[in-house]
Chains A and B, each alone.
Chain A
């Protein structure tokens, strides 16, 4: 039993960084969405890992809070993907491609 969340958190960090890198470096909207999912997932991992090793009310280590928050993050992630994909579809309708750089309407 690995005693403390150190390694888990490190893994979470690495995943987060990969996700962030994906968001920045890729041009495809879908890939960006997936990278975001990756980041959210790593956040969940960190949450659960830490809550697992915190001292519980009774004896032993582990409190449910991490998982509950994780659950909420999951729900939000799902909502985010739903809306994100809707936007991607709308964009696709307009631009015939999901290349993010084409969405430059904000630039004057």
Chain B
């Protein structure tokens, strides 16, 4: 079944072609558009499930096939974590390229050709499930949301195209294919954000949806520029883009590569691409404006799948990042900073989708923080859980918006609990999950990240402190949103209030599924520390499955005091050490000869674990309490506080004036520069051309004086010339 791996992205692509083509020709009526789109998405989900089932059974029986057709199939070595590659097409046979010899092997010619390879390993499997699963659910949901829209085939076609591109990205076997997917999703996000291209999205700034789409696309492109540079540098050093070959090359001479400036540079460049795609600090400005798109789009693209591409890329390139602590440190810092900054902005927004958008940016910051401190598994697990509850939140807000006359402004909501109970309960469950209540998925993944950021060798208490603060803010703004929307009296105008009622079942059923997922998914990856608190052994299935793929190898694999080598180190490193409370940062363990203590975390004492557990609860309830104090109740006290906090509120509401900053720092100088160059062009280049014309004309004027028509004058000049000639000759 594995050999049909490359069919998975093909299904939605076919869907796109069919829906788009027929829709354009006007042949498809509304129901068939929806059925076809959902069918395509579901097909990819079913195919994915079958493929993953076969993959779970191990890849050994495909080894014979791999030997038979080496160019088409490739299977990972027995010891290695399971990985199967299929190359249906030799895409770009480039021929010989010269390597700069930065990898110590000297300048040499290497045959290089880009093939269209798809690969599957546990990381891809997980992402496949997330993308195709949630994608299909959102397809279902958007049937209800888009009901009645004319020409909606365009929406479904783009959605299918997005699915195809995202699956290509996830299944990519080398950087080239990944980049195709990377650009594809960027394109689809542009198309879908700008779906309502005529509507004005943001009353204050006059930004139309089309502008928002352009903004998203441009910011992504800037990020992609960095990504492309990173790719090319990689090519020039290693001569290949294939992930497995890269990993083997780096791990092979890991002593040489550990800490090398080149790898750090490449890592930072790739991460710069990721910041564009996953909306991290420098390039996150497009995500809040991306809310201009229809809500299912926001849910699918700007919450669950596309924005996580950055994190997936980091996990995929884990071998490279393990060997460049500098790059990881950058990732961690940027991630933590984004989490904090976005959380603050989220608190002051009135548009429910903007609140969720900032929360997405903040959660992505958490994922980057996790990846930055080496907890790739925790980052991916948070990605998965976040996909569920954020999708549920977005779809919930979508149904609220649909019912409340398509306004996003929470000030016009209030007390919707009575009219929309299902939306309310699913929204509440997801909010509890995201805020990090114990049994729910949010707690499991977010707290694992926070724990790792404290105890891992790459982490530091500062990161942990800011992370926890951000977590607190998260619960505050989420409950603020809940209270403003569902509690208190209804503030929406009369005509809206009459027809307030629950969304159709097709939407609510999806909400319920997602809410259940958000609640239960956490149990798949219960962090070791937590499970130990309850005296239960390590039941972290997620860690067990995913760790080998993203584990560090070579020099970086740190055998912490005798615990065995790079084989699967069980997550539950119990370690009885010192007193309760925050385990003080263990002295930097001396670096063993040849080894760098990086990967393993220090083994937090039981009391430390307990402390963290309690702290998580405390943070959750403070956020809840504050929100309840400010916003619950008939007359929200927040308005009373407003005058005194006027400056802070305005600052946060205006998103720290970042957009204005960019405008002044980047766009204005750019215009000034172009004005300058146009002036230069006008005056110098055109000037030069006109100059030559002017000189010719001038010389014409001068020579005219000689043409007196009088023969004797001609004779005179004739003689003068003769004399000159003679003089020159005789000299």
Contacts and interface: CB of A to CB of B under 8 A. Distances in A.
B707 interface: yes
Interface stretch (B25-33, B271-279, B709-717): B709-717
Interface in B503-551: none
B712 A105 contact: no
Contact of B710 (A20, A25, A32, A104): A104
Interface string B675-717: 0000000000000000000000000000000011111100110
B473 to A, nearest CB: 88
A81 to B, nearest CB: 17
Contacts of B716: 24
B719 interface: yes
B709 A107 contact: yes
B709 A106 contact: yes
A24 B707 contact: no
A70 to B, nearest CB: 20
Given A20-B719, A24-B719, A107 B708 contact: yes
Interface string A13-51: 000000010011111000010000000000000000000
A27 B709 CA distance: 14
> In which size bucket is the chain A interface?
10 to 19
A69 to B, nearest CB: 19
B712 A106 contact: no
A27 B715 CA distance: 12
A23 B715 contact: yes
A19 to B, nearest CB: 10
Of B708, B710, B711, B716, chain A has the most CB atoms within 10 Å of the CB of: B711
A91 B555 CA distance: 107
B719 A100 contact: no
Contacts of B712: 23-27, 100-101
Interface string A79-108: 000000000000000000000110111110
B719 A103 contact: no
Contact of A107 (B707, B715, B719): B707
A107 B710 CA distance: 8
Contacts of A105: 709
Contacts of B715: 20, 23-24, 32
A104 B709 CA distance: 5
B536 to A, nearest CB: 111
Of B707, B708, B715, B716, chain A has the most CB atoms within 10 Å of the CB of: B715
Contacts of A23: 712, 715, 719
Interface in B368-394: none
B708 A103 contact: no
Interface residues of B, number: 9
B711 A103 contact: yes
Nearest to A25: B712
Contacts of A101: 710-712
A20 B707 CA distance: 20
Contacts of A27: 712
A107 B715 CA distance: 16
Nearest to B713: A24
Contacts of B708: 107
A32 B716 CA distance: 13
A106 B707 contact: yes
Contacts of B709: 104-107
A86 B710 CA distance: 20
A23 B716 CA distance: 9
Contacts of A103: 711
A101 B716 CA distance: 14
A104 B719 CA distance: 20
Contacts of A104: 709-710
A27 B708 CA distance: 15
A27 B711 CA distance: 9
Nearest to A107: B709
A86 to B, nearest CB: 16
A63 to B, nearest CB: 22
A49 to B, nearest CB: 17
B710 to A, nearest CB: 6
A17 to B, nearest CB: 9
B504 to A, nearest CB: 92
Nearest to A21: B719
A35 to B, nearest CB: 9
Of A24, A101, A103, A106, chain B has the most CB atoms within 10 Å of the CB of: A24
A82 B681 CA distance: 62
A1 B712 CA distance: 41
A13 to B, nearest CB: 10
Nearest to B708: A107
Contacts of A24: 712, 715-716, 719
Contact of B711 (A20, A25, A100): A100
Interface string B712-731: 10011001000000000000
Contacts of B707: 106-107
Nearest to A100: B711
A103 B707 CA distance: 13
Contacts of B711: 32, 100-101, 103
A100 B709 CA distance: 10
Interface string B290-311: 0000000000000000000000
Contacts of A107: 707-710
Contacts of B710: 100-101, 104, 107
Interface string B633-677: 000000000000000000000000000000000000000000000
A11 to B, nearest CB: 17
Nearest to B707: A107
A100 B719 CA distance: 18
Nearest to B712: A24
A103 B711 CA distance: 8
Interface of A: 20, 23-27, 32, 100-101, 103-107
Given A20-B715, A100-B711, 10 more contacts: A20-B719, A23-B712, A23-B715, A24-B712, A24-B715, A101-B712, A104-B710, A106-B707, A106-B709, A107-B709
14 contacts: A20-B715, A24-B712, A24-B719, A26-B712, A100-B712, A101-B712, A103-B711, A104-B709, A104-B710, A106-B707, A106-B709, A107-B707, A107-B708, A107-B710
Smallest CB-CB A-B distances: 7 pairs: A107-B709, A104-B709, A100-B711, A106-B709, A23-B715, A20-B719, A24-B715
